[in-house]
């Protein structure tokens, strides 16, 4: 499964960096993910499978994308746009 990463996310990796820091900020999202150590400022690029294995937790979430872009990328969680998540009280809706 593809990790949902945003610019500005702060990730905690399993092993500490030689400077002693565990937390990394996402600065580039693509086939490779760019990270900056929050302790010393070192920049690294990791491919997604390697990053997926090394991530222990998401400490902070970055700013969300434009809702229209998120719907295009990840599908419509709320197709009706009414905040109900696609559920309906209409008994004729079936299901």
Q: What is the pLDDT of residues 48-91, one digit of tens each?
A: 999 999 999 999 998 877 778 777 877 766 555 545 555 555 55
pLDDT of residue 93: 52
Task: Lay out the sheet containing 32-37: strands in order across.
Answer: 43-47, 32-37, 23-28, 10-13, 55-60
Closest CA relative to residue 4, chosen from 53, 48, 50, 56: 48
pTM metric for this prediction: 0.67
Per-residue pLDDT tens for 10-41?
A: 999 999 999 999 999 999 998 899 999 999 99
Q: Over pLDDT 70: what percentage of the chain?
A: 77
């Amino acid at each position: 499964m593809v990790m949902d990463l945003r610019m500005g996310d702060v990730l905690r990796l399993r092993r500490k960096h030689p400077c002693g820091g565990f937390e990394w900020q996402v600065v580039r999202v693509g086939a490779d993910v760019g990270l900056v150590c929050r302790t010393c400022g070192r920049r690294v690029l990791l491919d997604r499978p390697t990053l997926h294995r090394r991530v222990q937790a998401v400490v902070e979430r970055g700013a969300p994308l434009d809702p229209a872009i998120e719907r295009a990328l990840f599908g419509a969680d709320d197709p009706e746009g009414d905040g109900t998540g696609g559920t309906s009280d209409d008994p004729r809706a079936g299901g």
